[in-house]
Amino acid sequence: MQVVVGRIAKAHGVRGELAVDVRTDSPERRFAVGTSLSVRLRDGAMRELTVAAAREHSGRLLVRFEQVLTREVAETLRGALLLADTADLPPTEDPDEFYDHELEGLRAELADGSEVGVVREIVHSPGGELLSVDRDGRTVLVPFVRAIVPTVDVAGGRVVLDPPEGLLD
């Protein structure tokens, strides 16, 4: 299984460097020189790229890949997702920390056990993380905070929600 560790925002400069929005807690490991990453292009096509260099710049990571030598090639990668294998992820040491892939697919239910839906993805927004829950074909965004999601039971395949009135409507 693969998880998103970054999204290519745009080309930077004339030598094929790319500005990457990081989606991992360990960018120094994920974007280390020599690391191979799978790339899912906007059209769904996949390819492999090898990190040649990476450095921080204005809140983003600037990454140069061995296979991307010009700005023109870099421009074709705008919006692509950078993926890593979940088997390569270090275990989380905090019991209240989860990888996105651990939450995706979990059953969402209320404290009384009634089913709400299924967690489809984790949305990372400037205001915090949201659980995108499929509720009978309709998407409901649930703030991923302890007051609303008091229980995460990965082994049991569920999250328990305590939503404020109207959140699930």
Q: 142 forms bridges with which residues in the sheet?
A: 131
Domain residues of the chain, as ranges? Answer: 2-88, 100-161
H or E element that contains 22? strand 17-22
What's the CA gap between 57 and 105, in Å, rounded?
35
pLDDT digit string, tens, across residues 35-66? 999 999 999 899 999 999 999 988 889 999 99
Give the mean pLDDT of the chain.
Answer: 91
Identify the band that residue 156 occupies on the pLDDT scale cut at 50, 70 and 90: very high
Q: Enter the pTM of the model.
A: 0.64
Q: Does domain 100-161 bear CATH number 1.10.4080.10? A: no
For domain 2-88, the CATH architecture is Beta Barrel (2.40)
What is the model's pLDDT at position 26?
A: 80
Q: What's 86's DSSP letter?
A: G
What pLDDT is stored for residue 101 in this prediction? 82
